[in-house]
């Protein structure tokens, strides 16, 4: 059984993105184990004078390294992802390069009708940065709009169509993870390039 890390891309106490990951955790428990990670303890990224990554980040990094893949569920703030999520990604690409070649599935829930579509597009760009280089599942999008009304009192998605789509995407992600496990021949070189990359030297 595959082991996934589910990252809640918000530090809201009542995040519908957390609800979405919790729904997936329960629904797909026979196919994958999903450990949900909250970001409330993640400090905003600021290059440390001692060059040390915070303990809260290294703990998450270790879990991601051990996992078969990552599912990021993001809301949309001002057409982009929340600062707490960009801070985590910055930390994860500061001297540790945790997401390099790691399979990632992007989903999102939003109070508005567009369901975090622009934030997801921006997140794909971030994850393709030279210092990150995650393997994001292509041609996939799960947009849960009007998310405050999307779940019933038991935390179940009300829309059968949305559930069916999520079923298909999770099945595709399991295949995608299997494929990416075979694409590791250039991993060592990619890691070296990420470690030596500098925007100042371009």
> In what helix (H) or strand (E) does residue 4 lie, and over which residues does it extend?
strand 2-8
- pTM above the 0.85 mark? yes
Specify whether the CB–CB gap between 186 and 100 falls below 8 A.
no
User: What domains can be seen in the chain, in order of their start residue?
Assistant: 2-166+175-201 (3.40.50.360)
| pLDDT for residue 194 | 74
Torsion angle, CA of 137/32/66/126, rounded to 10 degrees? 30
Question: What's the pLDDT at 200?
Answer: 60
Tell me which long-range contacts 25-29 makes (C-beta under 8 A, separation of at least 24): 26/155, 27/163, 27/166, 27/167, 28/170
Helix axes 16-27, 160-180, angle to 10 degrees: 70
Residue 159: which of 176, 147, 141 has the closest Cα? Answer: 147
- DSSP lists the bridge partners of residue 97 as none
Residue segments in the chain with a per-residue pLDDT below the cut of 50: none
pLDDT computed for residue 66 by the predictor: 97
Cβ atoms of residues 142 and 108 within 8 Å:
yes
User: CB neighbours of 53 closer than 8 A, spacing ≥ 6?
Assistant: 61, 91, 94, 95, 96
143 three-state secondary structure: strand
Helices 117-127, 83-92: inter-axial angle, 10-degree rounding: 20
Tens of pLDDT, residue by residue over 138-149, are: 999 999 999 999
Q: Output the pLDDT for position 201.
A: 62
pLDDT the model gives residue 199? 64
Question: In the chain, count of helices (H) and strands (E)?
Answer: 6, 6
């Amino acid at each position: 059984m595959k082991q996934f890390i589910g990252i809640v891309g918000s530090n809201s106490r009542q995040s519908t993105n957390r609800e979405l990951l919790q729904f997936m955790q329960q629904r797909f428990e026979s196919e994958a184990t999903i450990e949900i990670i909250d970001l409330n303890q993640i400090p905003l990224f600021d290059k440390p004078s001692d060059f040390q990554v915070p303990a809260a980040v290294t703990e998450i990094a270790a879990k991601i390294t051990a996992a078969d893949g990552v599912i990021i569920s993001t809301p949309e703030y001002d057409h982009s992802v929340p600062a707490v999520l960009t801070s985590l990604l910055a930390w994860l690409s500061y001297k540790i390069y945790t997401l390099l070649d790691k399979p990632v599935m992007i989903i999102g829930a939003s109070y508005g009708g567009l369901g975090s579509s622009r934030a997801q597009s921006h997140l794909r760009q971030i994850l393709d940065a030279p210092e990150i280089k995650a393997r994001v599942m292509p041609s996939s999008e799960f947009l849960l709009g009007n998310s405050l009304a999307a779940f019933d009192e038991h935390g179940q998605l009300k829309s059968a169509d949305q559930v069916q789509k999520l079923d298909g995407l999770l099945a595709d992600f399991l295949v995608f993870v299997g494929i990416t496990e075979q694409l590791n021949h250039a991993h060592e070189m990619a890691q070296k390039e990420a470690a030596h990359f500098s925007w100042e030297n371009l």
